DNA sequence: GCGGGACAGTGTACGAGATAAACTGTGTAT
DNA sequence: ATACACAGTTTATCTCGTACACTGTCCCGC
């Protein structure tokens, strides 16, 4: 049952021994389990961490698309194939980068405050983190977080949401909605800024162009509501407002929906409490 | 609003002037503007629509990763390069596929009902659409929808949300949150089902593996809340519930957060209404 | 009704990228 | 000491996107 036969396999053997469902594998990968412990042969001059760090540095400097195995290897001053001693595939590398991008600590528990303030602090923290590693939002997400850093963030967010009185399962659902929204909103902002820069224009220009393009196609009869948006210049202003915080910080667009979500949670919890609490029996430390 | 800021030189055929920003370009692309009208030379045996349709068919049958220019061309019985007469690049093709995937009509306006019922019908419609073209959730989103089909869906969703009394700008924000969440939730489900199938297991097994993997790393002191999830088997059950509706239909996990969001909108609108008139007075507030 | 040029589709080629496999040197356990 | 495990390299292959030059078609103005 023990999993320490890895000393032998290298690549000769087909990996048939591990039941390896994807998420379990990734988890082990990120937690550094699954590392062999060789004490023979030349000393490694590289390490998995060094590889990941180089990849992160490259992505920070030149964007995710610059992260090729060759690129990372060059960054390190080694050959492309040397990386494969430390990661099984580029996919693995991306998985590791994903967790590595979250290396800043999430906001800690500040007991006194409103749970909502806690959640909003978490949201702000996530945005700051994305600001540091904007490429992270382009990485494929293979599932819920499972690396050490990802879990830290999940723990921190969940900790605050649970304080609302929501049960854990539903808290996870709310957290998921929050996370995906943060991520996607941020991604869109990065996209737009990139597109704007590529066109030598501003984000506001880009949105104006978008609105203008729509204007040619949107008819009042077929798209009355969208037409109204155009009429009221909603599409042009909205993201422009998000300008206040440097590169890609969508908070104004985000704050409103987030607050509505939290409102909704609050209302729900109150109603449950008022109605005698049917599904909240597990509040105390069960077990 | 009139649109005359750009020198509107005809897009007859020349590509001379296109400072067009990305979103504007994509819009024109999808609406079929920017098509030349040649009446010389051999008759085209292909068409942009045929190319897109073939790509969609391929994606439906074998997944997005099977959609290479060579693959699509083979599907059509033409050479790879022939496609480039109809799309400028693979990226363009993906943009077109994105809109093409939304070819089913969104739910129409059913006047009488609750606006929330309308929104939920829309949500359901989106999920059904994704169910038909699961690969669509993997396409890069270059911005808000701008193709005909995408706009139809946006219009339909917005139409319902606006009925809540929310002003258009905020309605867009709510719709965005909804869309991204739908998309990402669905994507995760597809991922998990794919991973499960690849491992010859069920989704439930995958989640069990995930929980087991976490269990090895999660300590009660560092991750109390997550540990509680594990203790209560929350992670293992949640997606298993989503099983009821064939391939990748996450509704149970989705319904709760969506309803909380709508609750939140409702509460917000009521509060605004109670505090004088909402329409423009609700500008700088936020909670 | 003819000839030229615009145009559809082809063939070839190239460069980037991931990665498989064989290979070379090194240093430690025996 | 020495064999072999192991780090890093070299070489090669396969897939892709796409640039470019080419071939054959058929509409146009003559």
* Residue in A168, A188, A256 closest to B232 by CB: A168
pLDDT band at B277 (very low <50, low <70, confident <90, very high): low
> Could you tell me the two tokens for B273?
């209404």
Return the exposure string of B180-198: e unless at least 16 CB atoms fall within 10 Å of the residue's CB, then b: bbbbbbbbbbbbbbbbbee
In angstroms, the CA B64 to CA B124 distance is: 23
Q: For A76 and C27, how far is CA from C1' in angstroms?
A: 23
pLDDT band at B200 (very low <50, low <70, confident <90, very high): confident
User: What's residue B250's pLDDT?
Assistant: 55
DSSP state letters, A49-85? HHHHHHHHHHHHHH-GGG--HHHHHHHHTS-GGGGGG
User: What's residue A218's pLDDT?
Assistant: 93
Residue A68 makes CB contacts below 8 A (sequence gap 6+) with A90
Residue B159 makes CB contacts below 8 A (sequence gap 6+) with A224, A225, B109, B118
Chain B hits for A225, Cβ within 8 Å: 155, 158-159, 162, 168
User: What's residue B201's pLDDT?
Assistant: 87
Express the helix, strand and coil content of chain A in percent, nearest 5 each.
Answer: 65, 0, 35
Dmax (CA) for chain A in angstroms is 76
Express the helix, strand and coil content of chain B in percent, nearest 5 each.
Answer: 65, 0, 35
Lowest mean pLDDT among B3-12, B31-40, B163-172: B3-12
> Could you tell me the two tokens for A21?
């469902």
pLDDT band at B35 (very low <50, low <70, confident <90, very high): low
**Tens digit of pLDDT for each residue in A201-219?**
888 888 888 898 899 889 9
User: What's residue B137's pLDDT?
Assistant: 97
> Could you tell me the two tokens for A226?
């969208």
User: What's residue B236's pLDDT?
Assistant: 76
User: What's residue A9's pLDDT?
Assistant: 34
User: What's residue B284's pLDDT?
Assistant: 41
Between the two ends of chain B, the Cα-to-Cα distance in Å is 33
Of A150, A167, A177, A208, nearest to B174 by C-alpha is A177
Q: Is the pLDDT score of A283 beyond 60?
A: no
pLDDT band at B28 (very low <50, low <70, confident <90, very high): confident
> Could you tell me the two tokens for A196?
């704007």
Query: Are A225 and B155 in contact (CB < 8 Å)?
Result: yes
The mean pLDDT value of chain B amounts to 85
pLDDT band at A286 (very low <50, low <70, confident <90, very high): very low
User: What's residue B270's pLDDT?
Assistant: 96
Burial class of B202 by CB neighbour count within 10 A (0 to 12, 13 to 18, 19+): middle
Of B133, B242, B255, B243, nearest to B182 by C-alpha is B255
- Average pLDDT for B106-123: 91
User: What's residue A240's pLDDT?
Assistant: 41
pLDDT band at B75 (very low <50, low <70, confident <90, very high): very high
Domains of chain B: 22-34+44-100 (1.10.10.60), 115-274 (1.10.357.10)
Return the exposure string of A101-111: e unless at least 16 CB atoms fall within 10 Å of the residue's CB, then b: bbeeebbeeee
**Tens digit of pLDDT for each residue in B171-185?**
999 999 999 999 999
Q: Are B158 and A226 in contact (CB under 8 A)?
A: yes
CA Rg, chain A, in Å?
23
Return the exposure string of B223-249: e unless at least 16 CB atoms fall within 10 Å of the residue's CB, then b: bebbbbbbebebbbebbbebbeeeebb
User: What's residue A14's pLDDT?
Assistant: 33
Q: Is B43 helix (H, G, I), strand (E, B) or coil?
A: coil
Q: How long is chain B?
A: 287
* Residue in B151, B152, B177 closest to A257 by CB: B177
Q: CB under 7 Å from any atom of strand C: which residues?
A: A 11, 39-43, 67-71, 80-81, 84, 89-91; B 13, 36, 38, 40-46, 78-82, 85
Q: Are B127 and B182 in contact (CB under 8 A)?
A: yes
Of B55, B178, B185, B175, nearest to B130 by C-alpha is B185
pLDDT band at B10 (very low <50, low <70, confident <90, very high): very low
Strand C: positions under 7 A of a protein C-beta atom: 4-12, 16-22, 25-29
**Tens digit of pLDDT for each residue in A99-138?**
999 999 999 888 787 999 999 999 999 999 999 999 999 9
In angstroms, the CA A62 to CA A239 distance is: 25
Q: Are A99 and A148 in contact (CB under 8 A)?
A: yes
- Average pLDDT for A241-258: 64
DSSP state letter for A281: T
């Amino acid at each position: 049952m023990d999993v320490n036969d890895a000393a032998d396999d290298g690549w000769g053997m087909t990996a048939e021994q591990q039941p390896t469902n994807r998420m379990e594998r990734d988890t082990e990968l990120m937690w550094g389990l699954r590392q062999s412990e060789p004490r023979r042969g030349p000393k490694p001059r590289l390490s998995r961490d060094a590889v990941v760090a180089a990849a992160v540095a490259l992505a920070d400097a030149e964007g995710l698309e610059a992260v090729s195995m060759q690129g990372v290897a060059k960054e390190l001053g080694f050959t492309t194939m040397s990386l494969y001693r430390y990661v099984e595939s580029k996919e693995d590398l991306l998985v590791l980068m994903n967790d590595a991008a979250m290396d800043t600590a999430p906001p800690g528990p500040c007991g006194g405050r409103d749970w909502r303030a806690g959640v909003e602090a978490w949201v702000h923290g996530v945005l700051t983190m994305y600001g540091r590693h904007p490429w992270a939002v382009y990485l494929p997400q293979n599932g819920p977080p499972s690396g050490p850093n990802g879990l830290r963030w999940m723990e921190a967010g969940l900790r605050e949401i649970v304080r609302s009185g929501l049960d854990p399962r539903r808290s996870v659902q709310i957290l998921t909605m929050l996370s995906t929204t943060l991520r996607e909103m941020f991604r869109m902002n990065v996209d737009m800024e990139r597109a704007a820069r590529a066109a030598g224009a501003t984000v506001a220009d880009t949105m104006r162009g978008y609105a203008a393009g729509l204007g040619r196609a949107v008819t009042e009869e077929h798209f009355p509501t969208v037409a109204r948006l155009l009429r009221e210049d909603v599409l042009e202003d909205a993201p422009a407002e998000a300008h206040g915080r440097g590169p890609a910080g969508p908070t104004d667009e985000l704050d409103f929906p987030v607050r509505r979500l939290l409102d909704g949670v609050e209302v729900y919890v109150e109603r449950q409490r008022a109605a005698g609490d049917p599904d909240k029996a597990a509040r105390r430390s069960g077990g």
